[in-house]
Amino acid sequence: MKLRTHTVPLPTDYVSQLRNQGKRKKSRCFIEYFYDIEVGEHNSYSFYSKSWEVGKGTAYRWVEEFNEALEIFDAARELKRKVHYQKAIKKDGGELCPKSDGTNGTNAMERLEHHQEPIVSTIQKSSGTIGTNAMERSFNIINNNKEDSFLDKEFYQFISEIKMSIKNVGNIDDIYKSYLKVKDLLDLGTLSKIYREYSNETRSERKVGLAKFLDDLIYLSYCNPYIELDNDGSILTGVWNKEKEIFITKDKNYGLSSSRYSEFNNENKIKVINYVSQEK
């Protein structure tokens, strides 16, 4: 009997998500599509429409959704590999070439493997914008600004969840760069909530991606500032509801108009601690 040892990594998170939503048939279709990619079997929308017993429009939509799920899966796997590689370097104290202890060839092999870099095609080297080079730049930016655990457990979880429910949120690298500018003022939970709200009420042809949503300060329209206010030497802390023009503190609510808020701000009597989503 011929041994059957071939295996493929399967994005089980996405499969589980579909099954938990009662979409077991769709999860089986995803597994078929994923296997076709792994073995290099290219099929048409018409083929999948017949194989999955759905309309051609549904097959087209599912293939688009499957590709988005796989994009997240691939990015996360690449990131995990690079984080693992960086942690190995850190455990050596940043020393890439271990000193030889006279053992037979082992250290030479370890040095070779330690110096091994991702293979980059000629096209990737010339363009400098795709593939491994792009991921290297992304990882370096991320790794220089925050701990690996933050990105692995929080940011990519945020991106994975939001890309599952909203299409065309934009490039992950660009989103992260934009988020770094506001991360001290806007947490990921709030960002997720307000971007979903923005997407639900904005026509698709006018909707912008997450990076532009942050860079163009669109997020401010969906937030209220949580502030410290110097009121004649008395420091008050609370949320300013700009629509109702009310300053809400733990003990008391104060009337605070937009013009008066601007006056306080110009006098440097207001410090924004962070932004919170607006209560509907």
The residues pairing with 271 across neighbouring beta strands, listed in sequence order, are: 228
User: Which stretches of the chain are DSSP H helices?
Assistant: 12-20, 24-39, 45-52, 56-91, 106-115, 122-127, 131-145, 148-150, 156-165, 172-182, 188-201, 210-215, 258-266
Which residue did the predictor score with more confidence, 118 or 216? 216
Average pLDDT over residues 99-125: 41
Same domain, 93 and 177: no
Same domain, 157 and 244: no
Residue 155: the pLDDT is 83
Tens digits of per-residue pLDDT, 233-244? Answer: 889 999 999 888
Q: Is residue 55 part of a domain?
A: yes
Same domain, 90 and 23: yes
Same domain, 193 and 228: no
Phi, psi of 126, deg, nearest 5: -75, -35
Considering 98, 116, 134, which residue would you say is the last residue of a domain?
Answer: 116
Q: Is residue 267 part of a domain?
A: yes
Residue 146: the pLDDT is 44
Same domain, 91 and 109: yes
Q: Is residue 140 part of a domain?
A: no
Considering 116, 138, 161, which residue would you say is the last residue of a domain?
Answer: 116
Residue 205: the pLDDT is 76
Same domain, 185 and 230: no
Number of structural domains found in the chain: 3
- Identify the burial level of 94 via C-beta atoms within 10 angstroms of its C-beta, where 0-12 means exposed, 13-18 middle and 19 or more buried: exposed
Average pLDDT over residues 195-217: 89
Tokens matching residue 233: 């030497």
Angle at 129 between CA 127 and CA 131, to 5 degrees: 100
Q: Is residue 250 part of a domain?
A: yes
Tens digits of per-residue pLDDT, 134-144? Answer: 344 444 444 44
Q: Is there a contact between 30 and 15 (Cβ–Cβ < 8 Å)? A: yes
Q: Is residue 109 part of a domain?
A: yes
Tens digits of per-residue pLDDT, 120-130? Answer: 333 333 334 33
Residues whose CB is less than 8 angstroms from the CB of residue 37 and which lie 6 or more positions away in sequence, other chains included: 70
Percent of the chain past pLDDT 90, that is, above it, reads 31
Mean pLDDT of the residues in the chain: 76
Same domain, 187 and 252: no
Q: Is there a contact between 124 and 133 (Cβ–Cβ < 8 Å)? A: yes
Q: Is there a contact between 214 and 266 (Cβ–Cβ < 8 Å)? A: no
Tens digits of per-residue pLDDT, 17-29? Answer: 899 999 999 999 9
Considering 194, 216, 238, which residue would you say is the last residue of a domain?
Answer: 216
Total-model pTM: 0.50
Q: Is there a contact between 192 and 224 (Cβ–Cβ < 8 Å)? A: no
Q: Is residue 132 part of a domain?
A: no
User: Which residue range forms the structural domain that includes residue 160?
Assistant: 147-216
Same domain, 82 and 167: no
DSSP 8-class letter at 218: G
Q: Is residue 1 part of a domain?
A: no
Q: Is residue 57 part of a domain?
A: yes
In angstroms, rounded to a whole number, what is the distance separating the alpha carbons of residues 78 and 159? 15
Tens digits of per-residue pLDDT, 50-89? Answer: 999 999 999 999 998 888 888 777 776 666 676 666 666 6
Same domain, 37 and 65: yes
Same domain, 17 and 108: yes
